[in-house]
Amino acid sequence: MNILITGGAGFIGSHVVRQFVTKYPNYNIFNLDALTYAGNLENLKDLEQAQNYVFIKGDITDEKFINKLFKGHRFSSVIHLAAESHVDRSIKDPLAFAKTNVLGTMVLLNAFKNLWQDNWQGKRFYHVSTDEVYGSLGKTGLFTETTAYDPNSPYSASKASSDHFVRAYGETYGMPYVISNCSNNYGPNHFPEKLIPLFINNIINNKPLPVYGNGLFTRDWLYVKDHAVAIDLAFHKGKNHETYNIGGFNEWTNISLVKLLCKLMDDKLQRPTGTSEGLITYVKDRPGHDLRYAIDATKIRKDLGWEPSLKFEEGLEITIDWYLKNTEWLKNVTSGAYQQYYKKQYN
Ligand code: NAD
Ligand code: TYD
């Protein structure tokens, strides 16, 4: 079985690739990634010699290349993660998000349809999406699989659009698909533009911790390897034409999360208690900032028996340890273009 995973050199993708390559030696896993600023082959160093793993550098928006690739390898399934993924970048450059997330997804869907539309038996297009498509919750309530889409940022609008196209290919061409919408992930290999790895890196370097607005925005955090396991389960056991919400049952306001992170980092770095908290700096809010995300993951728990394996404090500690150990990785990804991004975003 030839399976294409897109975006496998990124944060979540690298954990999904590892999950599949190591657990299913009889599958041939092809990892297609354009290696943008967020893609990093260092994330997959341990798999380089694996017999059932191939890396392909390429762009999902390149229609000719994608069609040729699909004809050549006849992928029976696609697990699609490649995307532009950072909300702040989408505010500065929305068209890049439409191109990769909408057009790129359509190019893949079309190539898959052209290959299999006469015989969908045993085929599956698995689309990895986000809870941000549902918009923002007030103080109460949870996102379920039937919550209406209501995206607020260019990022979430582009992901919502891609979800709609996947569904449309299912309805129009009978393409077997599964979509999962997951909450905020954290863990090793997370690019330090997102809250947790950015703040870990800044604490290490004694730099200010830029908390947007009043810091009372709430996210539901899930350890990345638990997301990879959920994708594995839903890919193998999920029902065609279904959506599964994946979440951590783990809501934190940004400011309480940051304070916990500061405390753990002071312990790890053997700095006096309160040192890292002293770096907290409230800055201008993000435009269109969603107040609260929280997932009701009852369906995947009940139907597929999935549950998060780690408590947040445990996962956070493993994550901090990983960043403190992998200083070369952190140094490499924060040199060059990262410095320009940082200046533009935070000055
Ligand atoms: P990421 O930014 O770390 O990785 C994205 C990967 O896609 C990178 O390796 C990049 O090189 C690749 N890529 C980008 N454009 C490409 C293109 N045109 N062609 C081929 N490859 C391209 O993202 P992530 O956080 O790992 O997210 C992966 C997926 O999961 C995304 O679809 C995202 O929307 C979704 N998701 C993320 C989260 C989260 O908390 N990070 C939560 C839910 C869902
Ligand atoms: P982020 O990690 O960008 O994920 P998302 O916006 O997709 O949820 O941000 C998580 C939360 O942290 C969000 O409410 C925005 C906030 N945040 C800050 O306060 N400061 C920062 O520097 C960043 C990157 C995020």
Contacts of 117 (CB under 8 A, 6+ apart): 173, 174, 175
DSSP 8-class letter at 120: -
CA 301 from centre of chain:
20
Mean of all residue pLDDT scores within the chain: 98
- Laid out side by side, the sheet with 53-57 consists of 53-57, 28-33, 2-6, 77-80, 124-130, 177-182, 242-246
pLDDT given for residue 282 in this prediction: 98
pLDDT, tens digit, 9 for 90 and up, residues 141-160:
999 999 999 999 999 999 99
* Helix orientation angle between 312-325 and 195-204, rounded to the nearest 10 degrees: 50
Which atom in ligand 2 lies closest to the alpha carbon of residue 132?
Answer: 7
**What gap in Å lies between CA 137 and CA 55, rounded to an integer?**
39
Which atom in ligand 2 lies closest to the alpha carbon of residue 254?
Answer: 12
pLDDT, tens digit, 9 for 90 and up, residues 202-260:
999 999 999 999 999 999 999 999 999 999 999 999 999 999 999 999 999 999 999 99
Q: Is 163 in the pocket of ligand 1 (CB under 6 A)?
A: no
24 by Cβ neighbours in 10 Å (0-12 / 13-18 / 19+) ranks as middle
Residue from 14, 56, 62, 81 to probe ligand 1 pocket by mutation (most atoms less than 8 Å from CB): 81
Q: Which two tokens stand for residue 177?
A: 């698909």
- The mean pLDDT of 189-214, rounded to a whole number, is 98
Q: Which of 254, 90, 240 is nearest to 159 (CA)?
A: 90
Q: Which of 8, 3, 1 is nearest to 228 (CA)?
A: 8
pLDDT, tens digit, 9 for 90 and up, residues 266-316:
999 999 999 999 999 999 999 999 999 999 999 999 999 999 999 999 999
**What gap in Å lies between CA 151 and CA 157, rounded to an integer?**
5
Q: Which two tokens stand for residue 136?
A: 């923002």
- The mean pLDDT of 324-344, rounded to a whole number, is 95
Q: Which of 238, 244, 104 is nearest to 180 (CA)?
A: 244
pLDDT, tens digit, 9 for 90 and up, residues 169-181:
999 999 999 999 9
Q: Which residues are catalytic?
A: 131-132, 155
pLDDT given for residue 33 in this prediction: 98
pLDDT, tens digit, 9 for 90 and up, residues 18-36:
999 999 999 999 999 999 9
Q: Is the pLDDT of residue 68 over 90?
A: yes
* Ligand nearest to the Cα of 56, by number: 1
Judge contact between 152 and 136, C-beta under 8 A: yes
Q: Is 185 in the pocket of ligand 1 (CB under 6 A)?
A: yes
**Neighbour count for residue 3 (Cβ, 10 Å):** 23
Using 50, 70 and 90 to split pLDDT, how confident is the model at 70? very high
Please name the amino acid found at residue 14: S
Q: Is the pLDDT of residue 347 over 90?
A: no
From the CA of 15, how far away is ligand 1's center (Å)?
12
From the CA of 5, how far away is ligand 1's center (Å)?
11
pLDDT given for residue 107 in this prediction: 99
What is the residue with the minimal CA distance to atom 6 of ligand 2?
Answer: 87
Q: Is 198 in the pocket of ligand 2 (CB under 6 A)?
A: yes
From the CA of 278, how far away is ligand 1's center (Å)?
33
pTM score, whole prediction? 0.98
Which atom in ligand 2 lies closest to the alpha carbon of residue 184?
Answer: 8
Judge contact between 39 and 33, C-beta under 8 A: yes
